[in-house]
Every structure is written in C-alpha cells, then in structure tokens.
Structure 1
C-alpha cells in the first residue's frame, strides 16, 4: 500500500490536534486558537488582567487550559426552559412560605 503526500499531511494534522488537546499549558498562540479569539485581543485581555495567565520569565505568556475552561464558563446564559424552571421553583417556595405563615 502506497502512502500519498495527502495521506501523510492528514496524519500529521491529526497527530498535531491530538497533541494540542493533550496539552495542559498553552502558549499565547495556542490559547488564541483554543479560545477562537485573535492574538491581539488575548494579549489586551492579559494586559488588563481580564483572563488568568502566567509569565514565568516575565515576558512569555502561558495559560493553563483548565483555567481557560473555567473562565469561558463565567456568566452562563440560561435557556428559557431553565428560567421557567427557576421561576416555578421560586413561586412554589413563595406559596409554601405563605401557607406556613397562615398556620
């Protein structure tokens, strides 16, 4: 079986993706790809201390992937179903409190 250049490139890209996914610490370039934002935006965010990062030598910026995941999960937006569930639970709690106050 003959392996073509296209096959080799596909295999290399697959291996690169797997290595990237396995990394715990990311460079600025890798973090910008991971977060799908531009390098300049990410750099501005580090300057403004809006995103957790590390500068072990005072110059090169690194990011811990788990901290980026936590950062991305800030300020969740609830679905309408979740909002309705919260409202129903709140109203049930109010009804229960009214019943207990009447006793």
Structure 2
C-alpha cells in the first residue's frame, strides 16, 4: 500500500518536472502545473478567464508564460511593501 503512494508521488513529481520545461501546455499539463482540477480548467476556458489557443477547433493549448501571468494577476502587496510605497510617496510631496 505504501509503495503505491510513493510511486504515485514520484509520477506526479516527474510530470511536474517535465511540464515546467515545456512552453506549450495541454489541459493535462495545466492541471499538473497549477493543481487545478480538469473541470475547473475547462470552466475557466469556457468563461474566457484563462487565455488559450484552439488552432484546430478541437485541442486546447496554453502558453506557460500566459498561465504564469494569469496566476500572478491581482497581486496583493504586503504590509512592508505598502509602507515602503507610502514613504516614497510622502517624500515626493515634500
């Protein structure tokens, strides 16, 4: 039982390592890369939230850079970053 869990984890790691070297992702690659479920990826595609290409009107493709950009959008700043911006802003006013 324990060896099956180890093999499963190794398989996941292998997919993740191989996937991070790719520039063009399939739906399965996006699932492995992000940890999202396949149905959630399809929902994001259906609602045009996640950028994708569909060159043959059948297969979905994603670029790694667009996935990364999409994952990092709406970034929230830390308290220290906000304080630093406040200091810079107040120094400019003087």
TM-score past 0.5 threshold? yes
TM-score, structure 2 length as denominator?
0.78
How many residues align structurally? 88
Measured after TM superposition, the shift of residue 15 of structure 1 is 5.5
Cα contact 2:45–2:52 (8 A) shared by 1: yes
- Cα distance in 2 for residues equivalent to 1:33 and 1:16: 7
Structure 1: give runs of 5+ residues left out of the alignment: 1-8, 97-103
Residue aligning to 1:49: 48
- Cα distance in 1 for residues equivalent to 2:15 and 2:27: 17
Measured after TM superposition, the shift of residue 31 of structure 1 is 0.3
Structure 2: give runs of 5+ residues left out of the alignment: 1-6
List, as ranges, runs of 4+ consecutive aligned residues in structure 1 with deviation greater than 6 Å.
none
Cα contact 2:16–2:32 (8 A) shared by 1: no
Measured after TM superposition, the shift of residue 70 of structure 1 is 1.1
Larger radius of gyration: 1
Q: 1:21 to 1:57 in 2, by over 3 A?
A: same
Measured after TM superposition, the shift of residue 50 of structure 1 is 0.6
